[in-house]
Amino acid sequence: MHLFNRYEIKYLLRAERVPELRAELAARMDADSHSAEGGYGVWSTYYDTRDLRFYWEKIEGLRFRRKLRVRHYGDRFGVGDDTSVHVEIKQRVNRVTQKRRVALPYKMASVLCDSRQMIDHDRSQRAFLEEVLELICSLDLRPVAMTGYQREAYVGRDADTGLRVTLDHRVRGRDRDFDFAADAENRLIVPARLSVVEFKANERVPYWLTDLAARMNLSVVRISKYCQSVEAFGRAPRSVFHVPETVEV
């Protein structure tokens, strides 16, 4: 069971400026151990109600909101019943992002989230699994969207312990065939020339990083990959936060 409490700030960055940001980060931070050879894949299946309650809570900016997802790190085509995935509840309380998750074999995660049956797993995780099952059953949650992207990640060192910066490239999605390993088409939901950059900190973002954002003229954006996928496939009208193909950064 893992618990995260942190602040998150998002930006959009043109692809041709990624090497500049990468060089600046490498001088002050360490590459995540999984970021060798161009980073790693991140694939997420998001659950929502028939009327997209979690989507609308995000769009309307509710001070307390949450969402449920199943996430896999790595090559999705290698996912099988025994592959480890994470079942996560991610929620926002005022300005703080909280994430609770548990690692499960993919088959067990499917039994819990899709078949809506309690699984026999580590007793220390029982309360969280019951919360997930209650959330699914009480709100009648079902898979709504999938997102995937290639992630580079950097972690803080010394005084910046707890700081994390991620660069997500080629952000894609689909609205059906939600098995991670399904031979299904994924479509770009953020223009290919743009990467999503996130600053994540436990307490505060260090001054050197905010100064870097200012020097590079990075502007904070309110983007949700889940909402972007919902809108890209016509499940909801495009909101004011949608990143269009013609956006200039």
Asked whether residue 146 carries a pLDDT value surpassing 90, the answer given is yes
166: Cβ contacts below 8 Å, ≥ 6 apart: 151, 152, 153, 154, 197, 198, 200
* Widest Cα–Cα separation across the chain: 52
DSSP string, 164-182: EEEEEEEEEEESS---TT-
What DSSP character marks residue 229? H
**How far is 104 from 84, CA to CA, in rounded Å?**
5
- Domain ranges (residues) in the chain: 2-232
Hey, which bits of 49-163 come out as E strands?
64-73, 84-93, 96-105, 142-156
The CATH superfamily label for domain 2-232 reads VTC, catalytic tunnel domain (3.20.100.30)
Secondary structure element (H or E) that encloses residue 55, with its range: helix 53-59
Q: What is the mean pLDDT of residues 183-191?
A: 93
pLDDT at 1: 62
Write out pLDDT tens, residues 20-63. 999 999 999 999 988 777 799 999 999 999 999 999 999 999 98
Write out pLDDT tens, residues 91-144. 988 888 899 999 999 999 999 999 999 998 888 899 999 999 999 999 999 999
Tell me which of 1-10, 28-37, 125-134, 187-196 is least confident. 1-10
pLDDT at 244: 87
**Spatial CA neighbour of 128 closest among 90, 95, 97, 101:** 101
pLDDT at 246: 77
Asked whether residue 2 carries a pLDDT value surpassing 70, the answer given is no
Structure tokens at 76: 């999705």
